[in-house]
Amino acid sequence: MQINRIGRIQYVEVNFPGASCSTQGFTTRHEGVSRPPYNSLNLGMNTQDQQANVEGNRSLLARAFGVSQEALVTPRQVHGNDILVINEPNEDYSHFLSVEGDAVITNQPNVIIGVCVADCAPILLCDPEKKVIAVVHAGWKGTAGRLVSKTVAGMQSEFGSDPTRLQAAIGPCIQKCCYEVDEPVRKAFIQSGIAWDSCAELTAPGKWQLDLAAANRELLMLAGLSAEAIQQSDQCVCCHSEQFFSYRRDKDESGRQMGFILLKP
């Protein structure tokens, strides 16, 4: 992964080996129109930023990759386990903005699917053989709910994807150094069958530092992906205030970056 620029958009570019059918990456907070404290590429609809600024930023992102703003699809994220599947063309995709979900799967070209994050892990998936893409919003609740595993299974059941042929990327998120969690989180992970000791470190009685990216990497491999097919950013959004938004750091004054993927025609 490396920083790239297209149009006015600065983003962390992801290249999937052997997958020329898609374009994908993770936006930074730079080159948008929002003013402090949401400066400047805030893409989150559920922030206290002015709606016109968010719409302007989303338009900049869509146009940079050659599609209309109506073809930028982000569901209404609720930290749940529902997956939006788009399997047919639409004249206007904007109605999907009101659909609750924390993952999107599609086989439709010229549609940017994305999830907005400010600490949670954005995860991109691509099946270059079947030409199917997906994006996942994985906070601790989505991770404990094994949402990324369910998304891989959805790609398989809906479009015939072979998990062993998928490519994945886990984008910038809050890292272990800044993510302290407590017993309810530990209990949810253990009940879900995730190896807690492999992704969390005890730092005080009833307190752990959680590695969200490591937990989702484990889930991807359990779902059938090879280790070599999973790219992972080591950038902590909470540490790098100059580059990324972080809700844990900035609370209600935080904007949102986006993990996005576009299937080419």
Residue 1 has pLDDT above 90, yes or no: no
Single-letter amino acid code for the residue at 181: V
- Determine the pLDDT at residue 108: 96
The number of domains in the chain is 1
Is 47 part of any domain? yes
Task: Report the CATH number at residue 32.
Answer: 3.60.140.10
* H or E element that contains 194: none
Residue with more model confidence, 236 or 20: 236
φ and ψ at 64, to 5 degrees? -60, -30
Give the predicted TM-score (pTM) of the model: 0.95
Is 185 part of any domain? no
- Domain residues for the domain of 100 are 2-173+213-263
Is 198 part of any domain? no
Is 182 part of any domain? no
Q: Residue 98 corresponds to which tokens in the numbers above?
A: 């009101």
Cα–Cα dist 251/86, whole Å? 33
Cα–Cα dist 48/168, whole Å? 32
pLDDT bin (cut points 50, 70, 90) of residue 156 is: very high
Mean pLDDT value across residues 170-194 = 96
- Determine the pLDDT at residue 251: 95
Is 147 part of any domain? yes
Q: In the 8-state DSSP scheme, what is residue 62? A: H
pLDDT in tens, 212-223: 999 999 999 999
φ and ψ at 14, to 5 degrees? -115, 130
Residue 200 has pLDDT above 90, yes or no: yes
Mean pLDDT value across residues 96-117 = 95
DSSP 3-state of 196: helix
pLDDT bin (cut points 50, 70, 90) of residue 95 is: confident
